[in-house]
Structure 1
Amino acid sequence: MRKLILSALMAATVIPGVAAAQSYGELRRDRQDIREERRDVREAQRRGDWRRVEGERRDLRDARREYREDLRDARRDVRRDRRDWGDRDRRWGRNDWRTYRSSNRALYSRGNWRAPFRYNTFRPGVRIAPNYYGQRYWINDPWRYRLPPARANARWVRHYNDVILVDYRRGIVLDVIRNFYW
């Protein structure tokens, strides 16, 4: 019984992420269905079978209606996400995270984080090795921590308790925030 409850809880936490990915896949399949239905209508017109043409047109209308419904659902999901993360798009100051961190301490306490290399204090303008800013160290949701948005070809990277903005094409440190995490 315990395994059943645990598996149901795990499935409930995974379902929202799957639903978003599923809606985009549905849209792609619906567009493909519309193309196939158009092809069937043209084929029926070429053969001159008008009963079949009407049936294929009906199928085309149904495919278009299904596409519009899925598109409406996907747009609604995007609007809901934007509403939830609404202040993500505003202009950020460099220290906007400080007041937010004091009221959301659990978000910034990610436990002891260790890398396969030792700690270094980096300064802006220094070139660092690629193993310090590899993809596994990228912060994929900087707006969640109220970090300023990274410019093109730059990513926020975690280095122990510090956060570093790195130009990942050249390996140059652009900004450093020390003791970002607790």
Structure 2
Amino acid sequence: MKRLIVATALASLVASGTAWADPPGHARNKEHREAQREYLKDRREAQREYEKDRREARREYAKDLREYEKERRKAEREYHKDRRKAEREYRRWARGEYIPRDYLYDRYYIRDYRAYDLPPPQAGYHWVRPYEDDDTYYMVQAATGLILQILGE
């Protein structure tokens, strides 16, 4: 009888160990869940990186666009400035026309007309030299810019 009791006790111990053990697929399910968590974590991180890259690309594009527009406006101003300058440089006026007000300032007046062999201007008139590289002199009415006389080329 002793043997029967010992055998029963041993059988119950062996059976109880297998009862507490994990089911056969449990380890695989646990690994699957961990892999799924890791995958979702990586996916969220990739999404954050993607959004960050998109924001950065938008900022760079906006910056490049601002720089392009700035350069375009500058080039346009320079183009028109050069065009106006060229129009002014080749402009010649005739007697009876009005010289633009831009040239009715001290900078263009010839105070020492004798140094240029010019006759003295009448009262209310000045000698004007619009272009430094041009030897054309205009006697203009100081108030209106009406050209009375032209000497030079």
TM normalised by structure 2 equals 0.38
Q: Which has the higher contact order (CA 8 A, sep 6+)?
A: 1
Larger radius of gyration: 2
